[in-house]
Amino acid sequence: MNATAVHARLRQLRAEIARHDELYYRAATPEITDRDYDRLKEELAALEAQFPAQTGAASLTPAVGDDRLAGFTTYRHRLPMQSLDNTYSEEELRAFHARLVKQLGREELAYVVEPKIDGLAVSLTFERGQLVRATTRGNGEEGDDVTANVRTIHSLPHHLATADGAPVPDIIEIRGEIYLTTAEFQRINQAREEAGAALYANPRNLAAGTVKLLDSKEVAQRKLEIVLYGLGFCEPAVADSQSDFHTLVKRWRLPTVERLWPAQGIDAVCAAVRELDHLRHSFHYGTDGAVVKLDEFALQREAGRTAKAPRWAIAYKFEPERAETRINAITVQVGRTGVLTPVAELEPVTLSGSTVARATLHNRDEIERKDIRVGDYVLVEKAGEIIPAVIEVNKARRRPECVPYRFPEHCPVCGTGVIQIEGEVALRCPNANCPTQVRRRLTHFVSKSALDIDGLGTAMVDELVGRGWVKELPDIFELRRADLLSLGKNVEKSADNLLAAIEAGKQCELWRLIHGLGIPHVGVAAAKDLAAHFRDLQALADAKLEDFVAEKTTIISGIGEVMARAITGFFNEPRNRALVLDLLHAGVRPVAPDARAASSATFAGKTFVLTGTLPSLTREEAAALIEAAGGKVAGSVSKRTSFVLAGEAAGSKLEKARALSVAVIDEAEFMRMLAAGSA
């Protein structure tokens, strides 16, 4: 390359890296994978090393990314908060070890191998055992103060436990990662899909974006989690090694990694990394690699650090599993709120141990941005190892007959012209009587998590809607026996059973009806909170925003401003208010929770977390027994958890319970507690 070409490529690389830094660190919406980003940085570093005269002060290779945003105050770390150098092969990992052996003059070095959680790095400052500040990495020297948002994380104690005599320093910075569980990520994306909003690409981006929201009440609606694993500034010193520090973190009852591997020598390190790669798919959060650290703090100090990263630690990044396959067709699904979602129908391919034949394309804009066409060969990976996604098109294999995809202008089911609501990415069918929308609303309404009407499975719902007998939810309560008997031979018993289940559904618990209405953002837990507070469907429908949030204070636990606006917006629509009246006219009389009975029940005020497979109860059955006895069921373990009900093959929740000293019981003990309470 001549000087002009080198200068042009350097300028191009620097601009491209700066743009991706902005997307990753500030906007939390990266367009490329970590590996592709690292390749850009590697190319830049190689060019700068080869042509130092062209580099000058403009080099970006040693810089730490900057996540600071306007609207937040900044706080200077007492000890710089650096990032890690990445490696993608065992050969590079062994080279890292060889450099340390040469520098430190030791053949055998002790390491600790930890899971690398794919989230947002934070630093927590405790003074005399009390949490006083939470800060993002920022530019490594100073970061954004996100204390109010971090305090919404239920699993994080606000003080260091000292019951067992664990030493507590005067000041300590503890580093960690904020993340979202797989289940919470899927819940949020489902709610966004129903609301017509763009889906989040992966849990890391969503967690990072959530931490940087200015409204901590909105943050609380997304159940963030945190894991702590690193030591920053500490005075006085309380540990001599990384493994000792991990022991202290557990004694302080802080959430930490569910497993780590002490490793003596590089062969043991490589074996630990391989074992972690095998186990990581069973974790409830995204793990995109392993972090290898020298164990002894004295050796860490001797190894030192560069401007960007410590020399005593390295991140081994697992290559995301990808596969190339062909798009045979693009189909468009219609959701129960009318949102049109395009799906790539793929030539089946094996990915992360399962066969993938479909991948979401999210929306029209995503198809246009990636220029995805029917017949294209595409790379597919599981985004965040959860959702199959089309990463890019292999345009070298594009055939002439692959023409740009035209998104339908009319609903593929009912033919109604599609619309786009201002501020939304999604296109939707505005016809509330669209058969697919009716089917999906009805399927949700009668599901086990809503009215739980046995006998109204998918086939029956399709039949009822297809014959025009059910056009809206209240119509199921008007079904006639004569109509059901006309569906075929030998249906008399099943028809009678269905009518009996429908009649029983009129007396459902109030929370079931609220959840069944399909209010955006309102899941089972929120429906139960709303039922307990309003105790009447009409009262909920008549509620104003100030009944949920007054002077920026949440009135109902768990119901923040975002959800409150979704609820009031739902009932402000004339069609939905008419739906409530029609349900009441159809004889639906939901049963409000008995506050007096709950307050005196066996598990009143107790919170349970379920994990593993119980001997005789399903999780749904156990949860029903807990709630009938006045208790609550949560999805994750925290210091507020009363009991963890554990069965066979219990996973990380059991380990977290033990770390937090939460009582763990089996099914036999659970049944004894129930029996004792009812005696």
For every residue of 302-354, DSSP letters joined together read HH-B-SSSBTTEEEEEPPPPEEEEEEEEEEEEE-TT-BEEEEEEEEEEEETTE
Cα 619 to Cα 617: distance, rounded to the nearest angstrom: 6
Instruction: List residues bridging with 76 in a β-sheet.
Output: 142
CA angle (527 as vertex; 526, 529 as ends), nearest 5: 65
- Read off the tokens for 581: 């009246």
267 contact partners, CB below 8 Å, separation of at least 6: none
CA angle (225 as vertex; 222, 230 as ends), nearest 5: 145
How far, in Å, are 272, 503, 508, 533, 575 from residue 589 at the CA level?
58, 11, 7, 17, 20
Cα 123 to Cα 333: distance, rounded to the nearest angstrom: 43
17 contact partners, CB below 8 Å, separation of at least 6: 37, 40, 41, 44, 60
Burial of 537 (0-12, 13-18, 19+ CB in 10 A): buried
CA-based nearest residue to 343, from 352, 354, 334, 355: 334
Q: List the catalytic residue out of 116, 293, 632, 656.
A: 116
- Strands 607-611 and 643-646: what pairing? parallel
Can you list the pairs that 183-189 forms with residues at least 24 positions away whose Cβ atoms lie under 8 Å? 183/284, 183/635, 184/222, 184/223, 184/635, 185/384, 185/386, 186/386, 187/523, 188/222, 189/387
- Read off the tokens for 26: 């500030």
**Is residue 14 classed as helix, strand or coil in its secondary structure?**
helix
**Is residue 182 classed as helix, strand or coil in its secondary structure?**
helix
Q: Determine the residue type at 154.
A: H
SS3 per-residue string spanning 102-136: HHHCCCCCEEEEEEEECCEEEEEEEECCEEEEEEE
Cα 253 to Cα 174: distance, rounded to the nearest angstrom: 13
Residue 223's CB is within 10 A of a number of other CB atoms, namely 23
33 contact partners, CB below 8 Å, separation of at least 6: 320, 391
Q: Does an H or E element contain 435, and which?
A: helix 435-445
Sole residue written with tokens 């979401």: 360
Torsion of CA 398, 402, 407, 411, to 10 degrees: -130
Please say if 116 is a catalytic residue.
yes
For every residue of 554-621, DSSP letters joined together read ESSTT--HHHHHHHHHHHHSHHHHHHHHHHHHTT--PBPP-HHHHHTSTTTT-EEEEESB-SS--HHH
Please, what is the angle between helix 266-279 and helix 90-104, to 10°? 140
Residue 492's CB is within 10 A of a number of other CB atoms, namely 11
Q: Catalogue the active-site residues.
A: 116
